[in-house]
Amino acid sequence: MSTMMWPEATDPQSEVDQLVDVCKEHGSVGSVLDLGGRHRESLAAAGFDPVDAAGTAPGQTFDAVVLLGSAFGRQPEEDALRSTVDTVRHHLRPGGLFLFDVLDGNAVLSRRSHNRFTRVTDGATQLVTATRGSVDTDESVLRLDLQRWRLSGGRVVTAARETLLIRFFLPRELDLVLRINGFRLLGTAPLAGGEAAPAYRWNRLAWARAGADTEA
């Protein structure tokens, strides 16, 4: 996964609160593998036993696996997505919970423009991001061309460009993709936690259970 070039969500705690609420709603979740690794401390503070990918023992499985940062949609091909989901399944106990965020196709396709501009002030430093977005409706991919500047002490300290390709999913399409990959979609909700990342506002948290037919 690429390192996030933009600041973390403006309110990471509410993102964690949402994860905790979903986990509690779906039974006993004690051990959590955070594949993105960005919520480990907050999850521990919430009473879970979180581990990141580097800390797993061979064969170790977890009650839940968390994959945020639009990583689910960063695999443009079905095969690449399958191998990501296989990795998730490998780390989940049977019937375990998979929590991830996806770009909402309804939101993407309803919008006239996907261009954005954000400015985040961090002490004397300002982070400026201009995003140009375009939609590939054949492939269901949102392309984000990002330009970023770090301004400090009256000058541009760094400037960078990055292009992100993120697949978006309609609700029933997500259900289909999960079924094909051996998961059952249990629910989705708008992702809590602010919108500092370029596509945040259009993201939903989704949760699914390993084993397509574990429950009716």
Nearer to another protein, 112 or 161 (CB): 112
Two structure tokens written together for 147: 């330009």
Radius of gyration of the chain (CA): 18
Regarding 24 and contact with another protein (CB under 8 A), the answer is no
Least gap, CB of 85 to another protein (angstroms): 14
Q: Which of 88, 177, 191, 210 binds another protein (CB under 8 A)?
A: 177
Nearer to another protein, 90 or 172 (CB): 172
CA triple 29-176-197, angle to 5 deg = 65
Answer yes or no whether residue 113 interacts with another protein by CB under 8 A.
Answer: no
Query: 110 or 163: whose CB is closer to another protein?
Result: 110
Among 12, 105, 133, 193, binds another protein (CB under 8 A): 105
Q: Please choose, out of 6-14, 28-36, 63-71, 103-111, the segment that lies near another protein by the rule CB under 8 A.
A: 103-111
* The two structure tokens encoding residue 2: 């690429």
Q: Which two tokens stand for residue 58?
A: 């061979």
Find, among 199, 203, 195, the residue nearest to 131 by Cα.
Answer: 199
Residue 98, phi-psi category: left (phi > 0), alpha (psi -120 to 50), beta (remainder): beta
Asked if 176 interacts with another protein (CB under 8 A), we say yes
Could you tell me where the DSSP H helices lie in the chain? 12-25, 40-45, 78-90, 105-110, 171-180
Candidate ranges 28-36, 65-73, 101-109, 151-159; the one touching another protein (CB under 8 A): 101-109
Q: How far apart are CA 152 and CA 208, in angstroms?
A: 44
Secondary structure of residue 74 in the 3-state scheme: helix
Any idea how long the chain is? 216
**Please, which of residues 42-81 interact with another protein by CB under 8 A?**
78
Q: Is 214 in the site for another protein (CB under 8 A)?
A: no
**Stretch near another protein under the rule CB under 8 A, chosen from 43-51, 62-70, 95-103, 133-141:** 133-141
In the complex, which residues of this chain contact another protein (CB under 8 A)? 78, 105-106, 109-110, 135, 137-140, 170-173, 175-177, 179-180
